[in-house]
Chains A and B, each alone.
Chain A
Amino acid sequence: MEKLTVITGVGVPLRRTNVDTDQIIPAEFLKRVTKTGFEDALFQRWRQEPDFILNREPYSTGTVLVAGTDFGTGSSREHAVWALRDYGFQAVIAPRFADIFRGNSGKQGLLTAVVPEDVVERIWGEIEENPGTEVTVDLESRTVTCGSVTSPFEIDDYTRWRLMEGLDDIGLTLRHENAITEFETHRESWRPTTLPVR
């Protein structure tokens, strides 16, 4: 994973709440066995509507998505993050994210910044009034900046550190391999195993 400190790019206003992962990427695209090439699948149904935001210039070149509350609800499909990333998005700003989506984003270097609803409204105002206005998300200072709007954003310390260092989770966990092995020696015999029985 690449190290991430500051992201600056065209802001895309997505004035919708409860954007579930079925909308971010419909189920038919989950049949692939690869991890890249999902850019065409992003918001595939909504992109068939001519006035959908990503069909309008200069928003189609956006890299910072600004959405309503409860973004990424529903299915655990990490494909939603891959589709956003493959399209070119580097950050999503919203008042609240679904837990699994947010976790998946952190694993893939997609920055999710939580700001209050009124800040989202003000950023929407800026990027709708002046299409092409850039939004800056600064992990170092934990601030979002767009035109006259500056606001701190919320992200947990650990995810921030991992993103800034570009660290891989499995590698980090394997530092504790001895502790895992030790834990396993105390595992009670009633606990399940999947080996065929009888």
Chain B
Amino acid sequence: MNAATPRTLAEKVWDNHLVVKGENGEPDLIYIDLHLVHEVTSPQAFDGLRMAGRPVRRPDLTIATEDHNTPTLNITAQIADPTSRTQIETLRTNAKEFGIRLHSLGDIEQGIVHVVGPQLGLTMPGITVVCGDSHTSTHGAFGAMAFGIGTSEVEHVLATQTLPLKPFKTMAITVNGRLRHGVTAKDIILAVIAKIGTGGGQGYVLEYRGSAIRDLSMEGRMTICNMSIEAGARAGMVAPDQTTFDYLKGRPHAPQGADWDEAVAYWSTLATDDGATFDAEVVIDGDALEPFVTWGTNPGQGVPLSETVPNPADIADPNERANAERALEYMGLEAGTPLKEIRVDQVFMGSCTNSRIEDLRAFAGVIKGKKLADGVKLMVVPGSARVRLEAEAEGIDKIVTDFGGEWRFAGCSMCLGMNPDQLQPGERCASTSNRNFEGRQGKGGRTHLVSPLVAAATAIRGTLSSPWDVE
């Protein structure tokens, strides 16, 4: 590789992890710096190792947490669902047998895998991160190359600490300008997905750039990178800068002393070079963005909250039109209805997209001193045990319960309803999570994806609402 050739951030990280360059159509072999493991996508991988008599090559680059199945109430009681319990117990057995560090329910570092990695300082610029979970794209916020993998690949990484991969194409997503007060990272990414579609990022690594991205905190950048997969992209990235370094410094696993200086010097070289070319480019006007909301059953079916439910008849492509018609039927919505007139039954504040301390602070800031709308339930689920404690030290738990909401223990919770936190059939939810698929939050449940600020305003008014409506 000619070092003088201008390269993108993604290409630099890729080149730096090349173990074997693929020839004659073979993929490259890429080294993996950090492998995150949870209970759902790992049991069959460990089984595969056991059957082949293979060890975990690098237990010291592997870390596990319990998140998808864990209850958010009564966490010291035995898990009621026997299959959930078995899956958790299987992870504990596997971690012990293969020598992998595990943060179990009740441990201070337990939580959603994509909250735990950054919180520990394990996620850092210029590394490769994988996990058997599509939202691994979250970690790209640090300038890491991070992507979700299937269970066969989990086994492959456990056995070899590498993955055979074809290079991704690169797409620049430039968000210019400055976000208005009340508009957040979540609105940026919902607008991006609405623009390029759920398949628009397929085959690409997205690099988020521009002044509106540079102005974001690490939490905001994580929210955006998290949902890259919802645009079909394996990974999303943001070039590391002072915001990144300030967030990392002093965290338990962040480099120290001379290692820190060496790392920062290297990380500072990772930004995309002037003159590097992307395979595709999308530009978003950050000044013009408004709070966004989804109306349908895929994350690309989103519009500004000030608009109305779209009319499928206006969609030219017959398959997309049929998809929209089916979505409206499932969602129980009429075309032309102003989105702000839609009543909700629940508000869910949590998930790997929006459950970090800054998200909770933003949410609490809006609801403080107010009351939950009649007939609406609110569940607030911090991303990790540590975030929960941090929030409690700031009094956020009290703000939530005084408001009329439930303050829960950490986990994936109602984002996908593998634990008891689920919507009932027909219930409508404003959710800060990442997927509005049919039945995602419970069979028959109807999901509108929103930012923490929109979730808070909606909890106050009982109808989908913008933070501008409650000021």
Residues of A within 8 A of B (CB): 15-18, 20, 22-23, 26-28, 30-35, 45, 68-70, 73-79, 81, 96, 98-100, 103-104, 107-108, 156-158, 161, 169-170, 172-174, 176-177, 179-180, 183-184, 188-198
Q: Assuming the A-B contacts A77-B41, A180-B31, A197-B253, are A31 and B62 also in contact, with contact meaning beta carbons closer than 8 angstroms in the complex?
A: no
Is B435 located at the chain interface by the 8 A CB criterion? yes
What are 21 A-B interface contacts by the 8 Å CB criterion?
A: A17-B320, A18-B300, A20-B298, A31-B69, A31-B86, A33-B87, A73-B232, A73-B298, A75-B416, A76-B132, A99-B232, A107-B150, A158-B25, A169-B152, A169-B156, A176-B20, A177-B160, A180-B31, A188-B259, A190-B255, A191-B33
Contact with A along B31-73 (1 / 0, CB 8 A): 1011000001101100100001010010111110000110000
Report B201-212 CB contacts with A as 1/0, cut-off 8 Å. Answer: 011000000000
Nearest chain B CB to A100's CB is how many angstroms away?
A: 6
- Cβ A180 vs Cβ B162 within 8 A: yes
**A193:B150 contact, CB within 8 angstroms:** no
When A78-B152, A103-B153, A194-B63 are in contact, do A96 and B417 touch as well, CB less than 8 Å? no
Whether B150 lies near A70 (C-beta < 8 A) is no
Which chain A residues border B41 with CB–CB below 8 Å?
30, 76-78
Contact of B418 among A28, A100, A194 (CB under 8 A): A28
- Contact between chains at B19 and A176 (CB < 8 Å): yes
Bound-complex Cα distance A107 to B132 (A): 14
In the complex, whether B351 has a CB less than 8 A from a CB of chain A is: no
Contacts of B266 in A (CB 8 A): 188, 190
Chain B residues proximal to chain A, CB less than 8 Å: 19-20, 22, 25-27, 29, 31, 33-34, 40-41, 43-44, 47, 52, 54, 57, 59-63, 68-69, 81, 83-84, 86-87, 90, 101, 121-124, 127, 132-134, 148-153, 155-156, 159-162, 164, 166, 197-199, 202-203, 229-230, 232, 234, 252-253, 255, 259-260, 262-263, 266, 298, 300, 319-320, 322-323, 326, 416-418, 435, 437-440, 443
Q: Lowest 10 A-B CB distances belong to which pairs?
A: A104-B150, A107-B152, A190-B255, A190-B263, A78-B150, A33-B43, A157-B25, A31-B83, A70-B199, A190-B259
